[in-house]
Structure 1
C-alpha cells in the first residue's frame, strides 16, 4: 500500500455476513468501489461482501464513469487520489448527470480541505483513512436508507409554504442537501423558520427515522457545556453520581441541530471542531473516546462570517459548519406569500374554521414589515382570533406603525431579539395564570382575557405542560 496504512481498520473481520444491518428492500444492494490500488480494493470488497452487498470494482476514474453510466448502483465509494484523476471527478459526474447514486469519498487522514471540497461538490459523505469498519458500516447503512426515507417524506416540504422565488429556491436546496451528510449552516433573521428548515432536511434525509436533537447553544451555561455535549462518567465531578450521555450520544445515527451556534464560547468551539472532524467524543472523566455517527446542522441569526472577522468565532469551525449555506428569507422579502401563510396559520389556530380575513386585513398584513418574521405573524393572528367576532378586520390585527416598531424593536439593553423577549414575557404570564388556578385552563383563560382555544394554542406553541407549572411551584 504505497500511500500508507490500509483504509480499513478494526479487524479481525467477522466470520460470517452480518445481513441484519442491510434491511432496506428485498433486492441485494450493489456498490461500486473505486481505487487504483488492488489491495485496498480487496479489503473494501471483503468488508462489503460480508455486509451482504454485491460489489463492482473499478481501478480508475474513467472506468468508474463507464460503470456508472452502464448500470444502477445503490452507492459509490471512491478514493480521492488516483492516477487518472480524482474522486471529485466522479462526484461531479454523478451530480452533472443527475444520477441517483449517493457517493462517498475516502480522503487522507486529517485532510479536511479535501473532505469539505467533496461535500461541496455533492458527495453524500466522506471517510478518513484508516477507515474503521464501524464507520464504514454506518455510512453504508445511511446511504442505503435514502430511498425509504425519501418515500416517507413525500410532501414534507409542503410545510414550508410560499411560492415566492426565494422560497422556491429554499425548498429546492433542502431537497438537494437532504441527500448528503454534509453540514448545513442555516442563516436568517429570528423567527424566519430556521429550525423548520432543519427538520425538513432531516425529513428528506437518510436519517429521517433517527433522533433529531435540537439544542440552543446560548441557553447552556459555559461551565456545563462540555458535559452537556459529550456526557460524563460517574465520579467525574461533584454530583456526578452516575454515567450520563451527552447530546452527541443522544443524536447517535441521527442529527444534532446547533441553534444559535454563534453563542458558543471559544474554548467549546475547539472541542466541537475536534468532535466533528474525528467523529469521536470523550466524556468528562473518561479515558477513551467513543465513536459517534452524527450529522451536524447549525443555525444563527447573526452574521457568522462577521463573527469570524471579529475574532468571536473560529475560522476553522466556520468552514467546517458552513459547507452548505442555506439562507431563510425574511418575511418582508416574500410579501406575496403573506396571505397564503396567514390563511394557513389561521386554520391551525382557529379550531372552529369559522374565522376568515377581510380583504383589507390581508392587504394590511401584506404591507407590514414583520420585524419578527413568521413568528410575529403567528402572534398577530393569535391576537386577532381572540379579538375578532367572525371576520378579522385590520383593527383586530393591531399592527404597529413603523415609527413604533423602530422604538421597540429591541428591548432595553439590546440583549435579545424582540420576538424571543415577547415569548418569554408571554410564557411567564401564562404560567402565572395557570399557577393561580392550579392548572385550571378555563379559569386561566378568563384571567388572561383570552378564549380557552387561544390559551390551548399558546400553551402548545410555548411548550407549556402541567409539569412546568408544578416544577415552578
Structure 2
C-alpha cells in the first residue's frame, strides 16, 4: 500500500518540526517548506495527499497557496493554520477553497482529526468522478440540476459551512445529504433538524444536551443534536426560525467546536460539519435585525442555490417516474405511468410547492387512476376541490348527512383519518371483506383502497 504523504508549509522551524513529528507518528511521510516558492516546487514534484500551510509566509500568504493548489493540483486538500481568534481569515481561506483550518496554538487532537478527514479525500470513491450523482438524490438532466450536482460534489470535499437557499419543497435537504454522502464524513451520522419545530424553551437542551437532574423532567443524560452528529454532519433546516438568544449560543458552539450541556460545567469538544438552509431571505432578516449578522457570515461561508422545479420542467418526467415507482413499492401496488397528456400537463404547471407538491399530486393521482395509467384529469391541477378520494355519505353511513365536527380545538388530520378508517371498516364489513366490492361501495378504485389500507395500517 502506498504511503500517505503531506506537505507542511511554515516559516517557523519549531512549528514545522512539531507538525512533521505528529504526522510521522501517524504513519504519514512529511515534506516541509519555509515559503511559497518552495511549496509550489514540492507540490509539483510529489503530489502529496494533504497540504498544511501557515497563513503568513515570507513571500506571500496561505490564501495564495490555496488558490494555486486549486488551479494546479485540485485533488490535494489544503488546510490553513491561522492565528488564534482570526475567524475572518479562516473564513476567507475556506471561500478560497481550503479544506479546513486549524488555529494556533495547534491542538494536536484537533490536528489529527483534520488530517484523518483530509486523507479520506484521497480514497478512490471520493476522487472527482464524471458528472453524476452517486447517492442518486438529485435527479434530472437539466443544465440547472447538472450545475447543482457539480457544485455539491465540489463542496463535499471541503469542510466549509454551506448555506443552501431555495424555495420550500425544492429539495434543500437532499442537497445537504448529497454533500454529506460524497464527502469524507460519509461514514458518520447525518443529523437533520427543523429549527422551527423545536419549542424555544427546549432548544438549548435539544441542541447541546443536558445532565440528569439539571431541570424538572431531565430524568436521564441527553447528548443533544451536536454530539449526536459528532464525526458527521449537522443540517440546520429553517435556520432563520431560530430565536436571537439561541443564535448567540449556536454561534459560540460553531466557533469553539464545543458544546456545554445544560447543567454541566464542562465543555465537550465536537467534530461536525454545519450545513444550513431556509426558504426565507436571510440577508433581509439580517438587515431587519431578526438574524445575527455574525452568525449569518459564519454559516454562509459558501451559498448554494437550489433551483425551483418550474425552472427545470424537462426533469419532471424523470422525477415523476421515480416518485411513482417509490409509491408503488411503498404501498405494494402495481406501478402506474403518466400518459403523454399528463406529462404535458405537469410540464406546463407552475409548481409553487416544487418537488414536494409534485410528490403530493402524484400520490393522490396514483390512488385515483384506472388501469395503471395516470391521465391529465387524474392530476386535478389548476384549482377546484382537491380530491382526496373523499367518501360519499353513503359509503360510511348511508343514514347520516353532514359529518359532525367536534366542539373546541381538534387534531384535524387525526380526526379526518378516524372518519376515513370508520368508513373503510363499515364498507368492508358490509361486503364481507371483499375489497373489490368495498372499493366500489366507497366510490374509489381498488388501487385507492389498497393504498389507504396500507397508509392507515389496516391490512
TM-score of the superposition, structure 1-length normalised? 0.81
* Match in the other structure for 2:357: 376
Say whether residues 1:257 and 2:235 are aligned partners.
Answer: yes
Deviation at 1:261, TM superposition (A): 0.2
* Match in the other structure for 1:350: 328
* Match in the other structure for 1:416: none
Say whether residues 1:454 and 2:451 are aligned partners.
Answer: yes
Say whether residues 1:269 and 2:247 are aligned partners.
Answer: yes
Once the two structures are superposed, residues 249-304 of structure 1 have per-residue CA deviations (whole angstroms, 9 ceiling, x without a partner) of 10001100000000000011011111111111111111121111010000101011
- Mapped to 1, the partners of 2:314 and 2:234 lie a distance apart of 33
Once the two structures are superposed, residues 41-100 of structure 1 have per-residue CA deviations (whole angstroms, 9 ceiling, x without a partner) of 111111111122111111111111111111121111111111111111111011112431
**8 Å CA contact 2:161, 2:298 repeated in 1:** yes
* Match in the other structure for 1:60: 35
Bigger drift between 237-246 and 378-387 goes to: 237-246
Say whether residues 1:394 and 2:376 are aligned partners.
Answer: yes
Bigger drift between 247-256 and 42-51 goes to: 42-51
* Match in the other structure for 1:80: 55
- Mapped to 1, the partners of 2:419 and 2:8 lie a distance apart of 62
Map 1:133-144 onto structure 2 (within 5 A).
Answer: 133-144=108-119
* Match in the other structure for 1:316: 294
Aligned mate of 1:93, from 44, 68, 76: 68
* Match in the other structure for 1:280: 258
Aligned mate of 1:385, from 358, 366, 369: 366
Give the total of aligned pairs. Answer: 414
Aligned mate of 1:44, from 19, 25, 28: 19
* Match in the other structure for 2:346: 365
* Match in the other structure for 1:332: 310
Deviation at 1:358, TM superposition (A): 1.3
Return the index of the structure with the highest Cα Rg.
2
* Match in the other structure for 1:110: 85
Deviation at 1:223, TM superposition (A): 1.0
1:144 is paired with a residue of what secondary structure? helix
**8 Å CA contact 2:325, 2:335 repeated in 1:** no
**8 Å CA contact 2:47, 2:73 repeated in 1:** no
- Mapped to 1, the partners of 2:161 and 2:173 lie a distance apart of 14
- Mapped to 1, the partners of 2:286 and 2:356 lie a distance apart of 28
* Match in the other structure for 2:126: 150
Deviation at 1:389, TM superposition (A): 1.0
1:345 is paired with a residue of what secondary structure? helix
**8 Å CA contact 1:350, 1:453 repeated in 2:** no
1:192 is paired with a residue of what secondary structure? coil
2:263 is paired with a residue of what secondary structure? coil
Q: Which segments of 5 or more consecutive residues in structure 1 lack a partner in the other structure? A: 1-25, 406-423, 460-464, 467-473
Bigger drift between 138-147 and 302-311 goes to: 138-147
Q: Which segments of 5 or more consecutive residues in structure 2 lack a partner in the other structure? A: 387-410
- Mapped to 2, the partners of 1:448 and 1:56 lie a distance apart of 76
* Match in the other structure for 1:9: none
Say whether residues 1:126 and 2:101 are aligned partners.
Answer: yes
Deviation at 1:158, TM superposition (A): 3.7
- Mapped to 2, the partners of 1:69 and 1:248 lie a distance apart of 40
Bigger drift between 111-120 and 160-169 goes to: 160-169
- Mapped to 1, the partners of 2:232 and 2:157 lie a distance apart of 14
**8 Å CA contact 1:430, 1:448 repeated in 2:** no
Deviation at 1:179, TM superposition (A): 0.2
- Mapped to 2, the partners of 1:448 and 1:198 lie a distance apart of 42
Say whether residues 1:219 and 2:201 are aligned partners.
Answer: no
- Mapped to 2, the partners of 1:57 and 1:435 lie a distance apart of 75
- Mapped to 1, the partners of 2:9 and 2:315 lie a distance apart of 47
Aligned mate of 1:193, from 144, 164, 171: 171
* Match in the other structure for 2:9: 34
Change (3 A) 1:262 1:404: farther
Change (3 A) 1:137 1:264: same
Deviation at 1:330, TM superposition (A): 0.7
- Provide the aligned C-alpha RMSD in A: 2.8
**8 Å CA contact 2:324, 2:335 repeated in 1:** no
**8 Å CA contact 2:6, 2:49 repeated in 1:** yes
